[in-house]
Amino acid sequence: MIHCLIIDEMHESIIPMLERISVKADYRPEISRAEILNIIGNYEGLIIRSKTSVDKELLSRAVKLKFIARAGAGMDQIDVEETEKKNILLFNAPEGNRDALAEHCIGMMLNLLNKICISDMQVKKGMWDREGNRGYELKGKTVGLIGYGFMGRAVAEKLKSFGCRVIAYDKYLKKFSYEYVEEVSLEEIFEETDILSLHIPLNEETRRMINEDYFNRFKKNIWLINTARGEILPLDALNKVLKSGKLRGAALDVLENEKLKDLNVQERKNFDELAASEKVLLTPHVGGWSFESYVRINEILVSKIKAANVF
Ligand code: 3PG
Protein backbone atom coordinates (compact mmCIF):
# COMPACT_ATOMS: atom_id res chain seq x y z
CA MET A 1 0.00 0.00 0.00
CA ILE A 2 1.39 3.41 -0.88
CA HIS A 3 0.18 6.73 0.49
CA CYS A 4 -1.02 9.65 -1.48
CA LEU A 5 -2.07 13.16 -0.46
CA ILE A 6 -4.94 14.88 -2.30
CA ILE A 7 -4.82 18.65 -1.75
CA ASP A 8 -7.64 19.88 -4.01
CA GLU A 9 -11.32 19.13 -4.36
CA MET A 10 -12.05 16.11 -6.51
CA HIS A 11 -15.02 13.88 -7.21
CA GLU A 12 -15.45 11.42 -4.33
CA SER A 13 -14.98 8.44 -6.68
CA ILE A 14 -11.21 9.01 -6.50
CA ILE A 15 -10.86 7.33 -3.08
CA PRO A 16 -12.32 3.88 -3.95
CA MET A 17 -10.65 3.99 -7.38
CA LEU A 18 -7.24 4.51 -5.74
CA GLU A 19 -7.93 1.85 -3.12
CA ARG A 20 -8.54 -0.68 -5.89
CA ILE A 21 -4.95 -0.13 -7.09
CA SER A 22 -3.56 -0.24 -3.53
CA VAL A 23 -3.12 3.50 -3.03
CA LYS A 24 -4.38 4.86 0.28
CA ALA A 25 -5.50 8.46 -0.16
CA ASP A 26 -5.64 11.23 2.43
CA TYR A 27 -8.28 13.58 1.05
CA ARG A 28 -7.42 17.07 2.38
CA PRO A 29 -8.94 19.67 0.02
CA GLU A 30 -8.86 22.33 2.74
CA ILE A 31 -5.19 21.88 3.58
CA SER A 32 -3.00 25.02 3.66
CA ARG A 33 0.34 25.31 1.87
CA ALA A 34 2.14 25.44 5.23
CA GLU A 35 0.56 22.13 6.24
CA ILE A 36 1.39 20.57 2.87
CA LEU A 37 5.05 21.54 3.36
CA ASN A 38 4.98 19.96 6.83
CA ILE A 39 3.58 16.58 5.81
CA ILE A 40 4.50 16.04 2.14
CA GLY A 41 7.61 14.11 3.20
CA ASN A 42 5.36 11.23 4.32
CA TYR A 43 3.79 10.57 0.91
CA GLU A 44 4.70 8.65 -2.24
CA GLY A 45 1.95 10.30 -4.25
CA LEU A 46 0.49 13.81 -4.59
CA ILE A 47 -2.76 14.59 -6.40
CA ILE A 48 -3.42 18.23 -7.24
CA ARG A 49 -5.46 20.62 -9.31
CA SER A 50 -4.25 24.21 -9.13
CA LYS A 51 -4.43 25.33 -5.51
CA THR A 52 -0.73 25.47 -4.80
CA SER A 53 2.43 25.78 -6.77
CA VAL A 54 4.50 22.60 -6.81
CA ASP A 55 7.80 24.45 -6.80
CA LYS A 56 11.38 23.79 -5.65
CA GLU A 57 10.46 24.54 -2.03
CA LEU A 58 7.67 21.97 -1.96
CA LEU A 59 9.62 19.39 -3.96
CA SER A 60 12.64 19.69 -1.66
CA ARG A 61 10.45 18.44 1.21
CA ALA A 62 8.85 15.66 -0.85
CA VAL A 63 11.57 13.15 -0.07
CA LYS A 64 9.51 10.00 -0.77
CA LEU A 65 7.46 11.34 -3.68
CA LYS A 66 7.19 9.01 -6.70
CA PHE A 67 4.38 10.66 -8.64
CA ILE A 68 2.33 13.82 -8.99
CA ALA A 69 -1.06 13.46 -10.65
CA ARG A 70 -2.79 16.59 -11.95
CA ALA A 71 -6.56 16.19 -11.96
CA GLY A 72 -7.02 18.16 -15.15
CA ALA A 73 -4.93 19.31 -18.09
CA GLY A 74 -2.78 22.37 -17.21
CA MET A 75 0.64 21.65 -15.69
CA ASP A 76 1.56 25.32 -15.25
CA GLN A 77 1.67 25.07 -11.44
CA ILE A 78 4.37 22.40 -11.50
CA ASP A 79 8.14 22.91 -11.80
CA VAL A 80 8.46 20.17 -14.40
CA GLU A 81 12.25 20.49 -14.72
CA GLU A 82 12.70 19.94 -10.99
CA THR A 83 10.41 16.89 -10.98
CA GLU A 84 12.50 15.39 -13.80
CA LYS A 85 15.69 15.92 -11.79
CA LYS A 86 14.08 14.09 -8.89
CA ASN A 87 12.67 11.28 -11.08
CA ILE A 88 9.12 12.07 -10.01
CA LEU A 89 6.55 10.86 -12.53
CA LEU A 90 3.95 13.35 -13.75
CA PHE A 91 0.46 12.49 -14.92
CA ASN A 92 -2.34 14.70 -16.14
CA ALA A 93 -5.78 13.97 -17.54
CA PRO A 94 -6.65 16.13 -20.56
CA GLU A 95 -8.45 13.08 -22.00
CA GLY A 96 -10.91 13.52 -19.11
CA ASN A 97 -11.99 17.10 -19.78
CA ARG A 98 -11.28 17.69 -23.47
CA ASP A 99 -14.89 16.99 -24.52
CA ALA A 100 -16.33 19.33 -21.90
CA LEU A 101 -13.83 21.99 -22.95
CA ALA A 102 -14.57 21.60 -26.64
CA GLU A 103 -18.34 21.76 -26.16
CA HIS A 104 -17.96 24.89 -24.01
CA CYS A 105 -15.63 26.46 -26.56
CA ILE A 106 -18.05 25.89 -29.42
CA GLY A 107 -20.93 27.04 -27.22
CA MET A 108 -19.04 30.29 -26.71
CA MET A 109 -18.43 30.66 -30.46
CA LEU A 110 -22.11 30.18 -31.27
CA ASN A 111 -23.14 32.50 -28.47
CA LEU A 112 -20.73 35.24 -29.53
CA LEU A 113 -21.63 35.10 -33.22
CA ASN A 114 -25.36 35.03 -32.47
CA LYS A 115 -25.39 37.46 -29.49
CA ILE A 116 -27.40 34.97 -27.45
CA CYS A 117 -26.47 36.34 -24.01
CA ILE A 118 -27.01 39.95 -25.02
CA SER A 119 -30.39 39.31 -26.59
CA ASP A 120 -31.43 37.16 -23.62
CA MET A 121 -30.76 40.10 -21.30
CA GLN A 122 -32.60 42.49 -23.63
CA VAL A 123 -35.71 40.34 -24.01
CA LYS A 124 -35.90 39.83 -20.25
CA LYS A 125 -35.94 43.61 -19.92
CA GLY A 126 -38.78 43.84 -22.45
CA MET A 127 -36.69 44.83 -25.52
CA TRP A 128 -37.44 43.14 -28.85
CA ASP A 129 -34.52 44.09 -31.16
CA ARG A 130 -34.34 41.59 -34.02
CA GLU A 131 -32.13 43.58 -36.41
CA GLY A 132 -29.59 44.48 -33.70
CA ASN A 133 -29.28 40.80 -32.87
CA ARG A 134 -28.83 39.41 -36.37
CA GLY A 135 -26.18 36.67 -36.14
CA TYR A 136 -23.29 35.33 -38.19
CA GLU A 137 -23.02 31.66 -39.19
CA LEU A 138 -20.09 29.39 -38.45
CA LYS A 139 -20.70 27.85 -41.85
CA GLY A 140 -18.16 29.13 -44.33
CA LYS A 141 -15.95 30.78 -41.69
CA THR A 142 -12.34 29.85 -41.06
CA VAL A 143 -11.63 28.86 -37.47
CA GLY A 144 -7.92 29.22 -36.63
CA LEU A 145 -6.63 27.11 -33.74
CA ILE A 146 -3.39 28.03 -31.99
CA GLY A 147 -2.19 24.84 -30.31
CA TYR A 148 -3.22 21.38 -31.41
CA GLY A 149 -3.03 19.17 -28.33
CA PHE A 150 -5.95 17.30 -26.77
CA MET A 151 -8.12 20.43 -26.55
CA GLY A 152 -7.45 21.80 -30.04
CA ARG A 153 -8.10 18.37 -31.53
CA ALA A 154 -11.40 17.93 -29.67
CA VAL A 155 -12.58 21.36 -30.85
CA ALA A 156 -11.63 20.54 -34.46
CA GLU A 157 -13.48 17.22 -34.39
CA LYS A 158 -16.65 18.76 -32.98
CA LEU A 159 -16.60 21.63 -35.48
CA LYS A 160 -16.77 19.16 -38.36
CA SER A 161 -20.54 19.29 -38.72
CA PHE A 162 -20.73 23.12 -38.82
CA GLY A 163 -19.38 23.46 -42.35
CA CYS A 164 -16.53 25.73 -41.35
CA ARG A 165 -12.89 25.36 -42.37
CA VAL A 166 -10.62 24.50 -39.43
CA ILE A 167 -6.94 25.39 -39.68
CA ALA A 168 -4.38 24.92 -36.91
CA TYR A 169 -0.84 25.94 -36.04
CA ASP A 170 1.19 24.21 -33.35
CA LYS A 171 4.82 25.24 -32.89
CA TYR A 172 5.74 21.80 -31.52
CA LEU A 173 3.62 19.47 -33.60
CA LYS A 174 3.88 18.78 -37.32
CA LYS A 175 2.13 16.62 -39.91
CA PHE A 176 -1.21 16.49 -38.11
CA SER A 177 -3.56 17.40 -40.98
CA TYR A 178 -6.46 14.99 -41.36
CA GLU A 179 -10.11 15.10 -42.25
CA TYR A 180 -11.12 17.57 -39.50
CA VAL A 181 -8.22 19.98 -39.66
CA GLU A 182 -5.62 21.51 -41.94
CA GLU A 183 -2.17 22.13 -40.52
CA VAL A 184 -0.97 25.60 -41.55
CA SER A 185 1.87 28.03 -40.85
CA LEU A 186 1.42 30.88 -38.39
CA GLU A 187 1.41 33.25 -41.38
CA GLU A 188 -1.59 31.42 -42.82
CA ILE A 189 -3.37 31.69 -39.47
CA PHE A 190 -2.88 35.48 -39.61
CA GLU A 191 -3.94 35.59 -43.25
CA GLU A 192 -7.11 33.49 -43.15
CA THR A 193 -8.65 33.27 -39.69
CA ASP A 194 -12.13 34.62 -38.93
CA ILE A 195 -12.45 33.07 -35.48
CA LEU A 196 -9.35 32.47 -33.38
CA SER A 197 -9.39 29.86 -30.62
CA LEU A 198 -6.45 29.43 -28.23
CA HIS A 199 -5.34 25.99 -27.03
CA ILE A 200 -1.79 26.51 -25.80
CA PRO A 201 -0.43 25.88 -22.31
CA LEU A 202 0.81 28.65 -20.03
CA ASN A 203 4.60 28.82 -19.78
CA GLU A 204 7.33 31.43 -20.06
CA GLU A 205 7.03 31.37 -23.85
CA THR A 206 3.26 31.94 -23.94
CA ARG A 207 2.79 34.34 -21.00
CA ARG A 208 1.33 37.62 -22.46
CA MET A 209 2.02 36.21 -25.95
CA ILE A 210 -1.33 37.24 -27.46
CA ASN A 211 -0.68 40.99 -27.31
CA GLU A 212 -1.71 43.99 -29.41
CA ASP A 213 0.96 43.34 -32.09
CA TYR A 214 -0.19 39.75 -32.35
CA PHE A 215 -3.80 40.78 -33.01
CA ASN A 216 -2.74 43.42 -35.52
CA ARG A 217 -1.01 40.77 -37.64
CA PHE A 218 -4.41 39.30 -38.59
CA LYS A 219 -5.59 40.36 -42.02
CA LYS A 220 -9.29 40.33 -41.11
CA ASN A 221 -11.06 41.63 -38.06
CA ILE A 222 -11.58 38.51 -35.97
CA TRP A 223 -13.55 36.96 -33.12
CA LEU A 224 -11.55 35.41 -30.29
CA ILE A 225 -12.25 32.50 -27.94
CA ASN A 226 -9.91 31.83 -25.02
CA THR A 227 -10.51 28.65 -23.04
CA ALA A 228 -6.79 28.05 -22.39
CA ARG A 229 -5.14 30.30 -19.77
CA GLY A 230 -5.81 33.95 -19.01
CA GLU A 231 -2.16 34.88 -18.51
CA ILE A 232 -1.42 34.37 -22.21
CA LEU A 233 -3.74 37.26 -23.07
CA PRO A 234 -3.23 40.59 -21.25
CA LEU A 235 -6.52 42.44 -20.72
CA ASP A 236 -5.05 45.87 -21.52
CA ALA A 237 -4.18 44.63 -25.03
CA LEU A 238 -7.56 42.99 -25.39
CA ASN A 239 -9.39 46.20 -24.50
CA LYS A 240 -7.34 48.14 -27.05
CA VAL A 241 -8.12 45.78 -29.94
CA LEU A 242 -11.78 45.59 -28.97
CA LYS A 243 -11.89 49.37 -29.12
CA SER A 244 -9.99 49.60 -32.42
CA GLY A 245 -12.36 47.08 -34.03
CA LYS A 246 -9.58 44.57 -34.80
CA LEU A 247 -11.48 42.26 -32.48
CA ARG A 248 -15.15 41.87 -33.37
CA GLY A 249 -15.84 40.08 -30.12
CA ALA A 250 -14.18 37.98 -27.45
CA ALA A 251 -15.41 35.03 -25.40
CA LEU A 252 -13.21 34.27 -22.42
CA ASP A 253 -13.48 31.38 -20.00
CA VAL A 254 -10.18 32.34 -18.36
CA LEU A 255 -8.78 35.66 -17.15
CA GLU A 256 -5.35 37.11 -16.46
CA ASN A 257 -6.27 37.30 -12.77
CA GLU A 258 -9.25 35.15 -11.85
CA LYS A 259 -9.32 36.26 -8.22
CA LEU A 260 -11.81 39.01 -9.02
CA LYS A 261 -12.06 40.15 -5.40
CA ASP A 262 -8.29 40.77 -5.19
CA LEU A 263 -7.62 42.81 -8.33
CA ASN A 264 -5.23 45.75 -8.02
CA VAL A 265 -6.29 49.19 -9.27
CA GLN A 266 -5.05 48.67 -12.83
CA GLU A 267 -6.42 45.13 -13.05
CA ARG A 268 -9.81 46.39 -11.79
CA LYS A 269 -9.83 49.14 -14.41
CA ASN A 270 -8.98 46.67 -17.20
CA PHE A 271 -11.58 44.18 -16.00
CA ASP A 272 -14.34 46.78 -15.63
CA GLU A 273 -13.68 48.07 -19.15
CA LEU A 274 -13.81 44.54 -20.52
CA ALA A 275 -16.94 43.56 -18.62
CA ALA A 276 -18.77 46.70 -19.80
CA SER A 277 -18.33 45.76 -23.47
CA GLU A 278 -21.26 44.21 -25.31
CA LYS A 279 -18.72 42.46 -27.52
CA VAL A 280 -17.46 40.36 -24.60
CA LEU A 281 -18.76 37.11 -23.17
CA LEU A 282 -17.30 35.77 -19.91
CA THR A 283 -17.57 32.48 -18.03
CA PRO A 284 -15.78 31.53 -14.77
CA HIS A 285 -13.17 28.96 -15.93
CA VAL A 286 -15.74 26.20 -16.35
CA GLY A 287 -14.67 25.03 -19.81
CA GLY A 288 -13.56 21.55 -18.78
CA TRP A 289 -15.90 21.47 -15.83
CA SER A 290 -18.78 19.12 -16.55
CA PHE A 291 -20.41 16.53 -14.30
CA GLU A 292 -19.07 13.88 -16.66
CA SER A 293 -15.48 15.17 -16.74
CA TYR A 294 -15.40 15.37 -12.93
CA VAL A 295 -15.52 11.55 -12.81
CA ARG A 296 -13.70 10.84 -16.10
CA ILE A 297 -10.62 12.77 -14.93
CA ASN A 298 -10.36 10.36 -11.98
CA GLU A 299 -10.67 7.30 -14.23
CA ILE A 300 -7.91 8.59 -16.51
CA LEU A 301 -5.56 9.51 -13.66
CA VAL A 302 -6.00 6.24 -11.83
CA SER A 303 -5.43 4.24 -15.00
CA LYS A 304 -2.22 6.18 -15.68
CA ILE A 305 -0.96 5.69 -12.12
CA LYS A 306 -1.74 1.98 -12.39
CA ALA A 307 -0.02 1.61 -15.79
CA ALA A 308 3.14 3.35 -14.56
CA ASN A 309 3.57 0.67 -11.92
CA VAL A 310 5.12 2.98 -9.33
CA PHE A 311 4.62 0.53 -6.48
C1 3PG B 1 -7.43 22.28 -16.56
O2 3PG B 1 -6.27 22.69 -16.73
O3 3PG B 1 -7.72 21.07 -16.55
C4 3PG B 1 -8.55 23.25 -16.38
O5 3PG B 1 -8.12 24.53 -16.65
C6 3PG B 1 -9.18 23.16 -15.00
O7 3PG B 1 -8.29 23.59 -14.04
P8 3PG B 1 -8.58 23.45 -12.46
O9 3PG B 1 -8.56 22.01 -12.12
O10 3PG B 1 -7.42 24.18 -11.87
O11 3PG B 1 -9.88 24.07 -12.15
Q: What is the pLDDT of residue 309?
A: 84
Q: Whose CA is nearest to atom 7 of ligand 1?
A: 72
Cα-to-chain-centroid distance, residue 174: 22
Q: What is the pLDDT of residue 310?
A: 77
pLDDT at residue number 232: 98
Residue having the nearest C-alpha atom to atom 5 of ligand 1:
74
Rounded to an integer, what is the distance from CA 285 to the centroid of its chain?
8
pLDDT of residue 121: 96
What integer pLDDT is reported at residue 197 of this predicted model? 98
- CA of 244 from ligand 1 middle (Å) equals 32
Q: 10 Å Cβ neighbour count for 207?
A: 14
The length of the chain is 311
307: helix, strand or coil: helix
- Of residues 84, 81, 88, the one with CA closest to residue 62: 88
CA of 75 to the centre of ligand 1 (A): 9
| 101 CA closest ligand 1 atom index | 4
> Ligand 1 mean position to 130 CA, how many Å?
37
Pocket test for ligand 1, best of 7, 14, 47, 50 (most atoms within 8 A of CB): 50
pLDDT-flagged residues of the chain (< 50) = none
**pLDDT number for residue 97:** 98
- pTM confidence score: 0.96
Out of 6, 49, 292, mutate this one to test ligand 1's pocket (max ligand atoms within 8 Å of CB): namely 49
Query: pLDDT for 192-238, tens place per residue?
Result: 999 999 999 999 999 999 999 999 999 999 999 999 999 999 999 99
